[in-house]
Amino acid sequence: MSNQYYIPNSLTTSSLSQSSPQDMPAQNSFLSQVSFDPSNPEARCACVLLFDTSRSMAGDRISELNQGLIEFQSSLQEDELASVRVELAVLSFGNQVKVEQDFVLAEQFQSRPLYASGSTPMGQAVNLGLDMIEQRKQVYRQNGVAYYRPWFFLITDGAPTDEWRSAANRVRQAEARKSLAFFAVGVQDANMNTLQQFSMRPPIHLKGLRFRDMFVWLSKSLTSVSRSQPGEQVPLDQQAALGPMGWGEV
């Protein structure tokens, strides 16, 4: 993963163009002439998605995940503000840790199907995801782009097969500094005790293979965060199909 010190396309001004003043009342010619500053990039809400693509995910699990990801993309892209504020990166861990997608604006995100094989190098994947978030914040700061607290969303159906404790500690320390919001989801017979070690926030166990509901929830949550105002607690959607949430607010 290269360091990005250039201004990526996604950081230039948003696709929300200044709309014409045609909807202004005719008698008010001065107010209809008010124009808006075109140079402010939208604030960014970065989200890293980490998907377990180990052997055990093959079959229904990975196909439901892939389907959910498609719906996630369309749900986000339906929201005008979320499209230009949410940035997504996708990492998979199975045979190897792979950057499926480097950070890209939601409006440009194109989901691709994931394939399952190999073991579960979760520790390495989490470490890489943390590095990517820190580097992304640097790019924002260097380019004068405001940003929200980034999200980290991990889905696994098993347990790590590599060294993971240092990654778990890094996550906990980052949470203590409020430098990210970490969510872990365990599928089927995932090792929830291990997942518990990663975060202050209790991991969620997915009901069945309801990836789509989970992704709709995630899309709504990211949309809320991306338009949240100072001092606002962002309530997570309590009616999510995931059932009673162990956590309250972000």
Partner 1 sequence: MTSAKATNRAHLSSGLSLPWAMQVTATSLLLLMAFKGIMNFNAANKNTEQTVKKNGRHQRCEPTEVPTTQKTTDSHWRFAGASVVGSSHIKSQAPCQDAFQYKALATGEVVIAVSDGAGSATKAEEGSTFIATKAVECVEQLLAQTTPGCQEDWLALVRTAFAATRNALSEKAVADEAPLRAYAATLILVILTKDWTVCGLIGDCAAIILNQVGELCSLCTPQKGEYANTTNFLTQSDALECLNIQIKAESAQGAVILSDGLLNLALNLASNEPHPGFFQPLFAFLTAIQNEQEATTQLAAFLKSDRVNARTDDDKTVVIVSKA
Which residues of the shown chain bind partner 1 in the complex (CB under 8 A)?
A: 16, 18-21, 23-25, 28, 30-31, 33-37, 39-40, 43, 80-81, 144, 146-149, 178, 225, 227-234, 249-250
Of residues 128 and 225, the one with the C-beta less far from partner 1: 225
Of residues 115 and 147, the one with the C-beta less far from partner 1: 147
Of residues 9 and 27, the one with the C-beta less far from partner 1: 27
Q: In the bound complex, what is the minimum distance in angstroms from residue 106's beta carbon to partner 1?
A: 16
- Give the count of beta carbons closer than 10 Å to the beta carbon of residue 136: 22
Q: In the bound complex, what is the minimum distance in angstroms from residue 24's beta carbon to partner 1?
A: 6
Of residues 32 and 101, the one with the C-beta less far from partner 1: 32
Q: In the bound complex, what is the minimum distance in angstroms from residue 59's beta carbon to partner 1?
A: 39
Q: In the bound complex, what is the minimum distance in angstroms from residue 240's beta carbon to partner 1?
A: 18
